[in-house]
Structure 1
Amino acid sequence: MKTILTPSTYLGIILLLFTALLLPMLVGALWIKVLTSAAIFALAASGVSLVYAQLGLINLAQIALIGVGGWIALRLNYATDLPITVLVVIAGALTGVIGAFFALPALRMRGLYLALVTLMVAALFQIFFNAFQFPNGGDGFWGVAQKSAGAVRRPGIAESDIGYFRYVLVALAASFVLIGLHKTSAPGRAWAMTRQSEANAMAAGINVTFYKLWAFALSGFLAGVSGALLSGALGQLDARSFLAGEGILLFALAVVGGVFSWLGAILAGLLYKLLPAVFNDLGLSADIAMIIFGAALMHAIMTAPQGIAGQILDAFKKGGSDD
């Protein structure tokens, strides 16, 4: 049992219980909505971290894939009566397939070239969103109409903002478990060997292309789930929320938070959504957050390769060992 309940796991359980049970009693309705968005983008950031940590590959299209998941979820919301959780899973699965498909041409690339290819994919989806918009309950396949938007359903147990916040937290925790299972099973071992040496991995009989596609598909799945959850949180989505450049920011914040642990993804989500909201609430320009992000990225690159999460978890482990 000791191998499962690590200090990091204990910290995660405590954080989840506090956030789900006590935090809604301490903050107002506005901040519940902000924290819901932060948790959703933390889920998406976990996909970016997975690809980078396990394979050393850069994915700048994650924000665009969130939009894809949201588009699919909205279309299914208006066109079907599927249960919301089923709808979320379908949106994630289809987005994962799309993410893997667009990753195919880039599988032989690394570094800057891969980053540019994924950025171009993000720009392609940005054009699509601007041209066709997001479904709002209209007729036809695109489902767009110049009228008041139709209702976006939420799960019966999570119709209130607090209930939906907790629903998103459960989805976030499930995503961390899913990633952890991959890391400790065959895909994780294949990714580790591939990152060390693709030639050695192929010599050992590992299908490098397949496992790279698997990583991008899993990352896309998490982005798609995030998009579906975001559509339920906001009610409607807008093309301006999924600009190609935002993918660069999310990747940078994933590095700042720490790509090697679940806590890093949570920190990335909080930095991405919560920090600008705090500045706005204080009457300050949200652009100040960009300056902080830049300084934090330089700090992570130069002195904290494990990110802020690595520093926190190291301190937590040392505190536990001292006891």
Structure 2
Amino acid sequence: MLCGLVALVVVPMFLGGQWVQILTSTACFALAAAGVGFMYSRLGMVSLAQVGLMGVGGWVMLRMNHGFNLPFELNLAVAATVTMVFGWVMALPALRMRGLYLALITLMAASGLEIVFSTFRFPNGGEGFWGVMPSLIAPFRRPWLATGNEAYLRYTVVMLLVGFLLIEAHRRTAPGRAWAMIRRSEAAAMASGVNVVYYKAWAFGLSGLLAGMAGGLLAGTLGLLDPATFRASESIMLFALAVVGGARHWLGAVLAAVLYRVLPGLFNNWGLDADLALVIFGAALLHALMTAPDGLAGQLLGLARRKEGSAT
């Protein structure tokens, strides 16, 4: 823990501006990956709209920033809440479905969001409801204690930790117990008095909340967003990498985001095509499905436990 805190304070000082932004976006996508990962690990539900929901949170964050003179934290809370409600609404037709049908419905929702973002763009300080004006980039107000890029990276990592703690709090309380019963058998859960639809909606809402936080924080990275970031295919990619990283542990979400954002950045620095990362993603997914049901995080933690056991 102490080493992590020292790294959080010291490491950003030695990074270039590009890598500070890459790591900031990595923390944002780790938060979104945690949301889609916990739904899969706790309930067996596959949501392929998480990056689209990030776009909803980012849109609301930008609109609040440019349209109202409110603090960053309040804007972020509004963005997360709106995205949570949007996740509930999106989940309504899917709550009684599972497996492939649930995945297809969320993928259709992600495709619809992709079309909306491409058509209407993201707010940039213009007038009207959509707040879009060509060639205009209005200033974005960051938190007063994190106006610089390095400080904002630290702020984003702290918010990522808040998201992990929120998931852990749910896992240890009534929702976590209900989700565990539903994962084993929906029929047995209903026979035990568990409201299956209610707790599935709760899971969608929590995942949407985390996606909204991630999108709002991502909007603060550069003060603008590109519709190409929120394509439906990116939601599929993020879910696949959440499985590769390990959906059952917070480390899996971090590994998923590192693969998603850091690896292409390294390829660019090395003069290679960033799309080569897709080849590695595919090989890593096959590896996870065939030999690592708990993902890379499960393998790393198991290796650490074995080494600790042999040392004692």
| Bin of the TM-score, shorter chain as denominator length | over 0.9
Pick one of 255, 261, 264 that aligns with 1:276. 264
Letter in 1 for 2:92: L
Aligned pairs for 1:149-298 (under 5 A) are 149-298=137-286
Distance 2:4 2:83 in 1: 27
Query: What is the TM-score normalised by the length of structure 2?
Result: 0.97
Distance 1:149 1:25 in 2: 27
Cα deviation code 1:114-164 (max 9, x no counterpart): 111110000011111112111111111111112321111100110100000
Match of 1:22 in 2: 10
Does 1:103 find its partner at 2:76?
no
Distance 1:158 1:145 in 2: 27
Distance 2:216 2:69 in 1: 15
Query: What is the TM-score normalised by the length of structure 1?
Result: 0.94
Match of 1:94 in 2: 82
Instruction: Say whether the 8 Å CA contact 2:77–2:213 is kept in structure 1.
Output: yes
Cα deviation code 1:271-311 (max 9, x no counterpart): 00000000000000111100000000000000000100011
Following superposition, the deviation at residue 108 of structure 1 comes to: 1.6
Letter in 2 for 1:294: G
Letter in 1 for 2:9: L
Does 1:45 find its partner at 2:19?
no
Distance 1:137 1:156 in 2: 20
Name the SS of the counterpart of 2:145 in structure 1: helix
Following superposition, the deviation at residue 19 of structure 1 comes to: 3.7
Letter in 2 for 1:87: N
Following superposition, the deviation at residue 28 of structure 1 comes to: 2.0
Pick one of 103, 106, 113 that aligns with 1:115. 103
Letter in 2 for 1:33: Q
Pick one of 138, 143, 164 that aligns with 2:126. 138
Instruction: Say whether the 8 Å CA contact 1:190–1:211 is kept in structure 2.
Output: yes
Instruction: Say whether the 8 Å CA contact 1:16–1:169 is kept in structure 2.
Output: no
Following superposition, the deviation at residue 47 of structure 1 comes to: 0.3
Distance 1:214 1:45 in 2: 17
Letter in 1 for 2:43: L
Distance 1:214 1:257 in 2: 24
Match of 1:59 in 2: 47
Letter in 1 for 2:25: S
> 5+ residue gaps in structure 2?
none
Distance 2:73 2:9 in 1: 22
Instruction: Say whether the 8 Å CA contact 2:126–2:136 is kept in structure 1.
Output: no
Instruction: Say whether the 8 Å CA contact 2:13–2:150 is kept in structure 1.
Output: no
Distance 1:313 1:167 in 2: 27
Distance 1:266 1:129 in 2: 27
Following superposition, the deviation at residue 317 of structure 1 comes to: 2.4
> 5+ residue gaps in structure 1?
1-12
Following superposition, the deviation at residue 32 of structure 1 comes to: 1.1
